[in-house]
Chain A
């Protein structure tokens, strides 16, 4: 589904990603871990098409298409979803109105008819259960005055509504208490299918107790330096990142 080959990206001339290689197939869950500043969020942003980042080398194909060639909205319409680490507030625009615009633009791109108000609301009702989100929250202005947990829950709710084929969760666990974490993870797990894939970007192993990855990759200095299964995450939890840093740094000096 997603194939990243030798991806290099920089921001304002500073290289952040220095040759990422990653293959993600339908039905898989990949976790990307790594110390602060290793490039985890940058990778998520580059895949979603944030323009501050300049791709200097490499290629990314998504369902056979050159992803880097697509505008951010077209990537979304093709089925790439990014759950933001810091969702923005849009004053005066209700979540409902926002989502209806989004869902219908995505549908239009895919050649589907726009949903009328009734159909849209019943779809919303169905998806609301997944993340135990309150309708009252959805009639409020998007993310305005939402707590950290409410914002993250709303991200997963949007994901449920848009039914992406590739979901990238950027530090979705940050700022969540244990109950919110459970609710959010439940939502993600229920949305999982043989046809879609998930990339979980996280600093801590905690989230991976709930969303169990098939593969774990460690990102350091803009490269994937170690890949493994979920046991790797446990090892990292126990030993921290220093042993990996040492391994990589000493290899570099040899």
Chain B
């Protein structure tokens, strides 16, 4: 075995850090999926009739649909009748403020390093914490409310702001968009809702932290972000789950709406349990994320650091409808052991002078498979559309795979589309060079990988960038030695 491989062998053996689970009393739906379950969920959440009907319509459509098989991933089919679709920690009554939230639940987040205590939190980040199916706490609500910003759980938004939810729900990702989006529309339980009124720049980062705790439970959250004219918001999302032998399903939908001159920045650090070294367990992460630059001069920027999940199927996309609108996608996807990721983006140019930029950095180690799948579509009336795509792959060892599937569809002769792709390996030479300067191999790999991913990491808010750097090092720890 060459040194490279030995190095990688050892480097791929780090255990998942957030693999613990906690026992608490739960309120849960019976196992299985049918119209009765959907009615049960809707009733539990005291939803209005229109929403129940919306769910049922999604469910009926979903039943007619086929699970997609075009992604470059293989996994045993999910038995949707064996899952539980709702599980919530039991709380005596709905908490009105942070002080009323069960301290045990807050302790779960403390253990993950996410303090829900407003005084303790670093200035400038408001958090909505989602545990299994429901949102347990949202911080800094009062501060934000003064500016007219709504940041709350999705269930609360349904109750307090039904007109906004009704207007935007499904407007970017229609309930029938795809198999998992339809499933999510039928059974989604909670998530975050964020509304930035006209002319307001949100002064702090808004953040949602998702944690799956219950076994055999799917998490189907729904996030809706609306930025009115001239509004700005930066939104962060983080995810972890306990280590379990069975695969767990996570099928989320995120919708972003940006009006004229609005800007939304959406950052994700995804660290769902990736399965163990033998590929047992782990989260199936089948997510639909899409934003629409509805107004002129609007901008949506996706940044993602994907390190977890056994199987990832995710394409955060931008529909560039407004003239001069801009879509961006920055991604680092790391796969190790037996992880599989098929991720990328879609940039749909509809308006004139629209621009998109794609920077995708894949890192594959162990026996993992990492695919970039991206689509750039320029419609007929999108004159002067510009796209730049850069897809780099970094391979660690010789048993992993990196794949690139770019689709380009141009219907306007004035379009300029550029695509660059590179594949490289972490070289023995680079590691030896670092060693010769006194740097241990693990630190050398962390240094090299972070350097490689720098362009994407630079897009993250400061505090998140530091976390992401550590996470990259941790995910690959043990794969080089």
Contacts and interface: CB of A to CB of B under 8 A. Distances in A.
B435 interface: yes
A141 interface: yes
Interface in B266-282: none
Interface in A84-112: 84, 87-88, 90-93, 97-99, 101-103, 105-106, 109
How large, as a class, is the contact surface on chain A? 20 to 34
Contacts of A88: 427, 429-430, 433
A162 B434 CA distance: 13
Among A48, A52, A90: residue with most chain B CB under 10 A: A90
B432 A101 contact: no
Interface stretch (B257-265, B334-342, B442-450): B442-450
Given A92-B452, A92-B453, A101 B435 contact: no
Interface in B1-39: 3
Interface of B: 3, 427-430, 432-441, 443, 447-448, 450-455
Contacts of B450: 92-93
B436 A76 contact: yes
A158 interface: yes
A82 B452 contact: no
Contacts of B437: 76, 98-99, 102, 106, 158, 162
Contact of B448 (A93, A109, A162): A93
B439 A84 contact: no
Given A88-B427, A93-B447, A98-B447, A50 B432 contact: yes
Contact of A162 (B427, B438, B447, B453): B438
B439 A102 contact: yes
A90 B451 contact: yes
B439 A101 contact: yes
B235 to A, nearest CB: 26
B438 A90 contact: no
30 contacts: A49-B436, A51-B428, A51-B432, A72-B432, A73-B435, A73-B438, A73-B440, A76-B436, A76-B438, A77-B438, A88-B433, A90-B447, A91-B451, A92-B451, A92-B452, A92-B454, A93-B447, A93-B450, A93-B451, A97-B447, A98-B447, A102-B434, A102-B437, A103-B438, A105-B438, A105-B443, A106-B437, A106-B438, A162-B437, A162-B438
B455 A84 contact: no
